[in-house]
Structure 1
Amino acid sequence: MAHTALLSYLLVFSAISAACVASDPDMLQDVCVADTSSGPKLNGFPCKPDTNVSAADFFFAGIANPGVVNNSLGSLVTAANVEKVPGLNTLGVSLSRIDYAPEGLNPPHTHPRATEVVFVLEGELDVGFITTSNKLISKSLKKGEVFVFPRGLLHFQKNNGKKPAAVIAAFNSQLPGTQSIAATLFSATPAVPDNVLTKAFQVGTKEIEKIKSKFAPKKA
């Protein structure tokens, strides 16, 4: 009896396993153009009706030309994600263009939902990421070269040259998300308590308040 019960269990388990392996995890329609007006639902946007789908849903010209860099960091990110290209919904890919002024920095940040690959369009960059064992992996890049930043790891790009630089960044997510470490810590709403930041950075309250003031919204 015990042998029969065990055999039955194994047969059921095998059938379930086979069904899982044979299942189709990808979308079961040709396209699912995002209805961005509805807001994100579960793990993406709902599909808008096929009758409303057009070529414009799959097109974006925003990264064709250099962006105007006019901030203190000297870099500008122009995203081509599902919010700009609704046809990317459920496809798991997106792009960004990043422009750097001379000495410009894309500050330390993470993408919690994607690995990033950058291709240098113009100029030269020093790039790097930090592993969870606190090891810096860095490289100097030139035009035409590629570098990978693993998903979720802290990374940066710095233009140390005297000429502008630019990259195209590819992500394996339609909406990779970005957390810039300094801005996240010093401009969060509500604010991260000063006693947390003073202890974390081993500095006094005056230093923390000074840094926070740098990230405060500028008054018109």
Structure 2
Amino acid sequence: MYHIIFFLLQLLIFSSHAAVQDFCVGDLTGPEGPAGYSCKKPATVTVDDFVFSGLGMPGNTTNIIKAAVTPAFSAQFPGVNGLGISIARLDLAAGGVVPLHTHPGGSEVLVVVQGYILAGFISSANSVYYKILKKGDVMIFPQGLLHFQINAGGIPAVAFVSFSSPSPGLQITAFALFANNLPSVLVEKTTFLDDAQVKKLKAVLGGTG
């Protein structure tokens, strides 16, 4: 009887150890699927896979929105692959804005480290939640909801944002509508904007049609 119990315990311990996988460093030489990247062979994993040094420098904010996001997602930081986490740096120059956008793949936590940021989101019931955040303030944005960040001071603002996904995705509403070849007549019917407004926004954002 004791031999059987001992055998079963050994089998349980062996099975538990066999099922444990500490990490799945992304193999960036292959495609990224819905479940992330395939795992690198353990023998090829190094400490550099778990270290990202790209968030110490400001992003380039010389663009139409005067904002820059420096991501440390699985595509840039293979160590987060499969872990359900990632991080990024947000830089907002004076007058900068990250327009209404969503992250289909994850919720977001924003921590302000410099300046003032007006941030907010819109619930699926169309309730609006927004506030001016200062250094040390934290705000959350639930997965999939439209949200935005605007520089609310006269100096550059910086924040770090973390996500509940190694690849949260991004869709900026204005770019989705006006920066592609979606026919203007369809944009007009689905947004209630007139033709002149649609053509003007497409000209600004590089859209056609």
Per the normalisation by structure 2, the TM-score is 0.86
1:204 aligns with one of 191, 194, 198 = 194
Displacement of 1:42 in angstroms is: 4.4
Q: In the aligned structure 2, how far is the partner of 1:104 from the partner of 1:154?
A: 18
1:10-29 pair list within 5 angstroms = 28-29=20-21
- What amino acid sits opposite 2:195 in the alignment? T
The reply to whether residue 180 of structure 1 matches residue 159 of structure 2 is no
1:137-216 pair list within 5 angstroms = 137-188=129-180, 191-216=181-206
**Contact 2:73/2:86 (CA < 8 Å) preserved in 1?**
yes
Deviation sequence 1:25-70 (CA, Å, 0-9, x none): xx83112111111111341111111111001111111111222311
Runs of 4+ with >3 A deviation: none
3-state SS of 2:29 partner: helix
Q: In the aligned structure 2, how far is the partner of 1:167 from the partner of 1:68?
A: 14
- What amino acid sits opposite 1:144 in the alignment? G
The reply to whether residue 116 of structure 1 matches residue 80 of structure 2 is no
**Corresponding residue for residue 77 of structure 1:** 69
**Corresponding residue for residue 58 of structure 1:** 50
Displacement of 1:201 in angstroms is: 2.5
Q: In the aligned structure 2, how far is the partner of 1:64 from the partner of 1:74?
A: 19
Structure 1: 5+ residue stretches without partners: 1-23
Count of matched residue positions in the alignment of Structure 1 and Structure 2? 190
**Contact 2:132/2:152 (CA < 8 Å) preserved in 1?**
no
**Corresponding residue for residue 27 of structure 2:** 35
Q: In the aligned structure 2, how far is the partner of 1:133 from the partner of 1:47?
A: 40
2:81 aligns with one of 89, 100, 122 = 89
3-state SS of 2:35 partner: coil
Structure 2 CA distance for partners of 1:132 and 1:41, relative to 1, 3 Å: closer
Deviation sequence 1:123-180 (CA, Å, 0-9, x none): 0111100011111101110000100011100000111211110000010000000000
Percent identity between the two aligned chains: 38
Structure 2: 5+ residue stretches without partners: 1-15
- What amino acid sits opposite 1:216 in the alignment? G
The CA RMSD measured in Å over matched residues stands at 1.5
Q: In the aligned structure 1, how far is the partner of 2:50 from the partner of 2:198?
A: 45
Q: In the aligned structure 1, how far is the partner of 2:168 from the partner of 2:47?
A: 24
Q: In the aligned structure 2, how far is the partner of 1:201 from the partner of 1:34?
A: 40
3-state SS of 2:186 partner: helix
